[in-house]
C-alpha cells in the first residue's frame, strides 16, 4: 500500500464537482491543503471554492495526465466516476479510496455479496440479467419486492417496486435493458447509516450511528444518535469496520442499513455502501469534533483520523431540496441553525440545494 503523506500546501485532486466535492475542498482549505477539482460540468458547485477549475471529460486521458501531474493524491466525490478513470489515475498518483473499493460499491450485487462474506445480513436478493430471470426469481424472492439497476442508481432512481407477478414485464422494461438486482422488500422500523473512516495504516473510526428518513426516495432528515438499541448500533459499526477492512479502504465511507425491530433483538441488514462522504453524515460538520469532510481529507492526505465524538447530546440535519432553500432567510436568522448552501444558481424540484444542521439538547 502506498504510504504517501501530504504536507500542508500540497494539492489533492477531486474527481467530481458537486456539493460533496465543494465541502471536501472547504475542509481541506482549513487544513492548509489545496484542492484541484476535475469535473465535466462548467457550473460545478465545487469550482466556486477552488482556485482553478479543470473542466474535462472523465475519459480525457491527456487532461487526466496533466491533472495527475499537479496533485499529490486523488479522491472522488461520487461513485459513478468511471472505474476506468480511477484505474488510469491510480497508475500516476495514489487514489484514495482505490479502485477495489470503487468496483465493489459501484455494483449492488458486489456490495451485497461482500456484506454476506463478512457475515452481515442483507435483504434476500437475486441477480436479474433478463426478463426471464425476473419471472423465475420473483416467486423465490417473494412479494413485495423491489427491482433496481445494479449500477448508477442514486436517490431512488432506477428502481421499481413490484407488488404482483403481473408487474414483471413493466418492471423489467423500466430497467431499460440494464443488468438488475431483485430484492425482497424489508419491513424496516428505521433506516440507519454508519459513517466510518480508515486511515493509511488501517486505523478505523466511526461517528455515532445516524438514523435517516427519506421522502420521495431522497434523504429528508438525519438524526444522531440513531434510536436503536446499543447492541444494534455496536453491530452496525462493527460491520462497517469489517467492510472497510475487506475493501482495503482509505477515506470516509457510508454503510446504509435497514433496522427491523423484532422487539428483543433488532436485526440490521446492509443495504448499500457509498465509497465517499455521505449526505447522512452532514450533521458531523457542526455536531462532531471532526466533520466527515475533514476526516476524509485527513485520510486522503495520509494524516491520522480526527476524533468522532459528538459535540452535543444529539444532532439533526435537514436537507433543503428544491424550493425548501427559499427558507434560507428564516434559517439564517434562527439561533442555533447552521445553514449550508451549495451555491447552485437554479432551484429545481428534487435538487439538493443545501442543508441545515441543529444540535439537540437531548438524545433523540
Smallest distance, Å, CB 186 to ligand AMP?
4
| Vertex 335: Cα angle to 326 and 364 (nearest 5) | 95
CB 358 within 8 A of CB 316: yes
Smallest distance, Å, CB 249 to ligand AMP?
20
Cis? peptide before 178, omega within 30° of 0: no
What number of chain residues touch ligand AMP (CB under 6 A)?
Answer: 13
CB 74 within 8 A of CB 58: no
Q: Does the footprint of ligand AMP cover residue 146 (CB under 6 A)?
A: yes
Q: Which of 101, 73, 67, 70 is CA-nearest to residue 4?
A: 73
Smallest distance, Å, CB 190 to ligand AMP?
10
Distance CA 254, CA 195 (A): 5
Query: What is the full DSSP assignment across 316-337?
Result: EEEEEEGGGGGGHHHHHHSTTE
Q: Which CA distances in Å does 314 have to 175, 220, 311? A: 40, 17, 8
Grid coordinates of 76: 472522488
Please report, as residue ranges, which positions from 253 to 292 form the binding site for ligand AMP (by CB under 6 A): 256, 271-272
Smallest distance, Å, CB 176 to ligand AMP?
17
Q: Does the footprint of ligand AMP cover residue 142 (CB under 6 A)?
A: no
Q: Does the footprint of ligand AMP cover residue 217 (CB under 6 A)?
A: yes
Query: What is the full DSSP assignment across 55-67?
Result: E--TT-HHHHHHH
Distance CA 261, CA 227 (A): 11
Question: Which residue from 185, 267, 341, 359 is in contact with ligand AMP, where contact means CB under 6 A?
Answer: 185
The residue (of 280 and 291) whose beta carbon lies closer to ligand AMP is 280
Q: Which segment (183-191, 198-206, 225-233, 273-281) binds ligand AMP by CB under 6 A?
A: 183-191
Question: Which residue from 79, 191, 208, 324 is in contact with ligand AMP, where contact means CB under 6 A?
Answer: 191
Q: Which segment (15-23, 179-187, 311-319, 354-362) binds ligand AMP by CB under 6 A?
A: 179-187
Q: Does the footprint of ligand AMP cover residue 343 (CB under 6 A)?
A: no
The residue (of 272 and 316) whose beta carbon lies closer to ligand AMP is 272
Please report, as residue ranges, which positions from 76 to 95 form the binding site for ligand AMP (by CB under 6 A): none
Q: Which residues bind ligand AMP (CB under 6 A)?
A: 123, 146, 153, 156, 183, 185-186, 191, 214, 217, 256, 271-272
Amino acid at each position: 500500500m502506498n504510504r504517501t503523506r501530504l504536507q500542508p500546501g500540497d494539492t489533492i485532486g477531486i474527481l467530481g464537482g458537486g456539493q460533496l466535492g465543494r465541502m471536501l475542498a472547504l475542509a481541506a482549505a482549513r487544513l492548509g491543503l489545496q484542492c484541484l477539482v476535475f469535473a465535466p460540468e462548467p457550473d460545478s458547485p465545487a469550482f466556486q471554492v477552488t482556485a482553478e477549475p479543470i473542466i474535462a471529460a472523465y475519459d480525457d486521458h491527456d487532461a487526466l495526465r496533466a491533472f495527475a501531474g499537479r496533485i499529490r493524491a486523488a479522491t472522488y466525490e461520487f461513485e459513478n466516476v468511471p472505474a476506468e478513470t480511477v484505474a488510469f489515475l491510480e497508475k500516476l498518483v495514489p487514489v484514495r479510496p482505490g479502485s477495489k473499493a470503487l468496483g465493489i460499491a459501484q455494483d449492488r450485487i458486489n456490495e451485497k455479496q461482500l456484506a454476506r462474506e463478512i457475515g452481515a445480513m442483507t435483504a434476500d436478493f437475486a441477480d436479474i440479467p433478463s426478463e426471464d430471470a425476473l419471472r423465475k426469481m420473483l416467486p423465490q424472492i417473494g412479494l413485495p419486492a423491489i427491482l433496481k439497476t445494479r449500477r448508477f442508481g442514486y436517490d431512488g432512481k432506477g428502481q421499481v417496486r413490484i407488488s404482483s407477478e403481473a408487474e414483471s414485464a413493466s418492471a423489467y422494461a423500466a430497467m431499460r435493458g440494464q443488468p438488475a438486482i431483485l430484492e425482497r422488500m424489508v419491513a424496516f422500523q428505521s433506516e440507519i447509516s454508519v459513517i466510518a473512516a480508515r486511515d493509511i495504516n488501517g486505523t478505523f473510526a466511526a461517528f455515532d450511528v445516524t438514523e435517516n428518513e427519506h421522502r420521495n426516495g431522497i434523504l429528508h432528515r438525519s438524526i444522531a444518535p440513531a434510536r436503536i438499541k446499543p447492541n444494534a448500533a455496536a453491530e452496525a459499526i462493527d460491520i462497517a469496520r469489517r467492510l472497510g477492512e475487506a475493501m482495503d479502504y482509505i477515506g470516509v465511507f457510508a454503510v446504509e442499513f435497514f433496522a427491523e425491530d423484532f422487539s428483543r433483538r433488532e436485526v440490521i441488514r446492509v443495504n448499500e455502501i457509498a465509497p465517499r462522504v455521505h449526505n447522512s453524515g452532514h450533521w458531523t460538520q457542526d455536531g462532531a469534533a471532526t466533520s466527515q469532510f475533514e476526516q476524509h481529507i485527513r485520510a486522503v492526505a495520509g494524516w491520522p483520523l480526527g476524533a468522532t465524538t459528538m459535540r452535543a447530546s444529539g444532532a439533526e440535519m435537514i436537507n433543503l431540496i428544491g424550493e425548501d432553500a427559499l427558507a434560507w432567510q428564516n434559517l439564517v436568522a434562527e439561533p442555533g441553525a447552521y445553514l449550508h448552501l451549495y451555491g447552485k444558481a437554479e432551484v429545481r424540484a428534487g435538487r439538493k440545494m443545501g442543508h441545515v444542521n441543529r444540535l439537540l439538547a437531548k438524545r433523540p
